[in-house]
Chain A
Amino acid sequence: MQAVPTRPWEKEKSVRRRSTATLLLGALISCAIVLFTGFAGPDGWAVVLFTLAAVFTFVKGRKLQAKERKNAKAHLFILAAAIVAFTPWISIFISVAFKGIKGVRLNFFTSDMRTTTPDDFMNMGGAAHAIIGSFIMVLIATVITLPLGILSGVYVTEVRGRFSGVVRFVIQSMSGVPSIVAGLFVYTTFVDASGTFSALAGSFALGILMLPTVARTSEEVLKLVPDDLRSAGYALGARQWRSTLMIVLPTVRSGLITAGILGVARVIGETAPLLLTALSNTSFVFNPIKGPIGSLPMYIFGMLQIGTENSINRAWTGSFVLLLLVFGLFSLARFIAGKDKR
């Protein structure tokens, strides 16, 4: 007789299907209640869902044994915690998406605002200059910061030099620097000296904010490398830098890429440091050394300040694109980090 693979430790399919169906039905009912009665506003469905679940658990609980009732109550608490955690997140994303999606047209990704006033219709002008500006600044910041961050991680975990403690302390306190202070610092040291706002200045300010994230993440992943591998390298006659370069760093390659992506995601939405260093621009700028340059956060900020209907719509679309970029980057980081867990 052919053996059939079963999983006796899992719940039966029918049971799982039924509980999923119950949850979906509850979500539908709560959405309907919110839609038709206007109770509690757009986020009220979560509250209604929880109330429904509580009532359902209570009603069903009377038919269950004590142990099962306890389990049902625990499930209820977990549902509540999940709702509390996810509601703001989903709510932000949905409202930004709803308000921003109107402006997601081709011209938003291809045109700048040089010949368009912010109040013009959404089929004119765009944020391409801002997207490119953000890209240039984040790229330069990454090119500067990633090697520095990885090197400081290597210094703390591999070299374990005399100043390891100092380096770690400085990096930790750097992560607490308010972003506007980073902008001010670059303004007084670089913008003032060079006499012009520039993408380079913006990149420096972003780099100051990015460095602690990259360095801390690198340090954490480097700590995960087993000492066995270092010993093996040394036993083969390797010098320290050679063993670090050929064994330790390649072993955590994906972790280091993740460190870089997390750093990028950390700074891509920063506005305050750019205010004092890169400023903003309405047209395409490709020269990173000279002149103010646009960026997505500054685009959003500028459009909101103008405050007409279409400019605010432009700001929402900018926010939506920025949010997608950040989500995309974080998902990429998780994907790359997950690939290594063989």
Chain B
Amino acid sequence: MEKVDTSVRSEQEGIPMTDTTSNTAVLDTEFAGLETRDAHAWFGNHHALAGVSLQFPARSVTGLIGPSGCGKSTFLRLLNRMHEFIPGAAMAGEVRLHGQDIYAREVDAAAIRLKIGMVFQKPNPFPAMTIRENVLSGLKLAHIKVDDDEALMEKCLTRAGLWKEVKDRLNASGGSLSGGQQQRLCIARSLAVEPEVLLMDEPCSALDPGSTLRIEETIKELAEKITVVIVTHNMQQASRVSDYCAFFLTDGGPGYLVEADKTRKMFTNPNDSRTADYVQGKFG
């Protein structure tokens, strides 16, 4: 219990928390190269996230779970510098990719986002582009040249589980697909720039159960090659797709990390009683 009080205490004392050990979750596997150290986030004066230190295991799926407003999505957006697009946003701490702090002054945010891709809650294919152009859009946007873009497109669509459905209408508009197909198109689009990490912000919350299932299968296949971080509100989904889980919570103040561990342990025998209560559906 005393473990989680650090963030609250630091808030009360009004000084940034420097002691990270008490709130650190080191997941004991091969390390993906992505980690946060004492990460905080603000929106204007609102302290949304406090003192999160977390490492993401390589080639696995890490689920971020917790009730609404606990800062999961904020934390996710902090990981690829999408947080800074919100007016009034501020942050503290470090997010490291291969030991390099991505918030260091000399770091190019666009290059970071190329390595750490993102899939959003609402499917957002580019309406002015065809399916083919949508998949390859990342290359054009970032001035990347590939030898065989047709092969790359097929590979990405296949990995996203969409190739069979769209191979005969690659020149149709991305907007002509169903919601689930659009989301898989967005996943394919993110894969085309070959990111090391893929962040997913509740990718299935706007979709039907069938599409959700397809995307969950896709996520599992992706995790064989890349590191996936997924925010989800759905406990069943977290238990189905994730290898590791991180549980976030808020006591009315900023959100903080309660604990992180292997998914099976989190769901059967967590260290913190609140984690047990949450995964069993007693609150949230």
Known contacts A237-B193, A238-B142, A239-B110; A232/B85 CB under 8 A:
no
For B110, the chain A residues whose CB sits under 8 A away are 234, 237-239
For A253, the chain B residues whose CB sits under 8 A away are 128
> A236: CB under 8 A from chain B?
yes
Q: Which residue in B111, B118, B140 is a CB contact (below 8 Å) of A235?
A: B118
CB within 8 Å of B: which A53-79 residues = none
Q: Which residue in B120, B128, B129, B138 is a CB contact (below 8 Å) of A237?
A: B138
Q: Do the beta carbons of B189 and A234 come within 8 Å of each other?
A: no
CB within 8 Å of A: which B125-153 residues = 126-129, 137-138, 140-143
> B117: CB under 8 A from chain A?
yes
A232 nearest CB neighbor, chain B only: B124
CB within 8 Å of A: which B153-171 residues = none
> B241: CB under 8 A from chain A?
no
Q: Which residue in A234, A236, A242, A251 is a CB contact (below 8 Å) of B193?
A: A236
Over the window 212-246 of chain A, the binary record of Cβ atoms lying under 8 Å from chain B Cβ atoms (1 yes, 0 no) is 00000000000000101101111111110011001
> A42: CB under 8 A from chain B?
no
Q: Do the beta carbons of B113 and A235 come within 8 Å of each other?
A: yes
Q: Which residue in A235, A247, A250 is a CB contact (below 8 Å) of B190?
A: A235
Q: Do the beta carbons of A237 and B124 come within 8 Å of each other?
A: no
Q: Do the beta carbons of A251 and B82 come within 8 Å of each other?
A: no
* Secondary structure class of chain A's binding surface, majority of residues: helix
| Closest CB in chain A relative to B143 CB, distance in Å | 8
> A13: CB under 8 A from chain B?
no
> A7: CB under 8 A from chain B?
no
Q: Do the beta carbons of B113 and A229 come within 8 Å of each other?
A: no
For B190, the chain A residues whose CB sits under 8 A away are 235-236
| Closest CB in chain A relative to B56 CB, distance in Å | 17
> A342: CB under 8 A from chain B?
yes
| Closest CB in chain A relative to B133 CB, distance in Å | 10
> B186: CB under 8 A from chain A?
yes
> B179: CB under 8 A from chain A?
no
Q: Do the beta carbons of A251 and B85 come within 8 Å of each other?
A: no
For A233, the chain B residues whose CB sits under 8 A away are 141
| Closest CB in chain B relative to A66 CB, distance in Å | 47
For B120, the chain A residues whose CB sits under 8 A away are 228, 231-232, 235
Q: Do the beta carbons of A236 and B189 come within 8 Å of each other?
A: yes
Over the window 181-210 of chain B, the binary record of Cβ atoms lying under 8 Å from chain A Cβ atoms (1 yes, 0 no) is 000001001100100000000000000000
Q: Do the beta carbons of A251 and B80 come within 8 Å of each other?
A: no
For B96, the chain A residues whose CB sits under 8 A away are none
B137 nearest CB neighbor, chain A only: A236
Q: Which residue in B80, B128, B175, B189 is a CB contact (below 8 Å) of A250?
A: B128
- CA A246 – CA B141 in complex, angstroms? 7
> B114: CB under 8 A from chain A?
yes
For B173, the chain A residues whose CB sits under 8 A away are 342
A227 nearest CB neighbor, chain B only: B85
Q: Which residue in B112, B124, B138 is a CB contact (below 8 Å) of A229?
A: B124
* 13 A/B residue pairs, CB under 8 Å, sorted by A: A229-B124, A229-B126, A229-B127, A231-B82, A232-B189, A233-B141, A234-B82, A236-B141, A237-B113, A237-B138, A238-B138, A247-B126, A247-B141
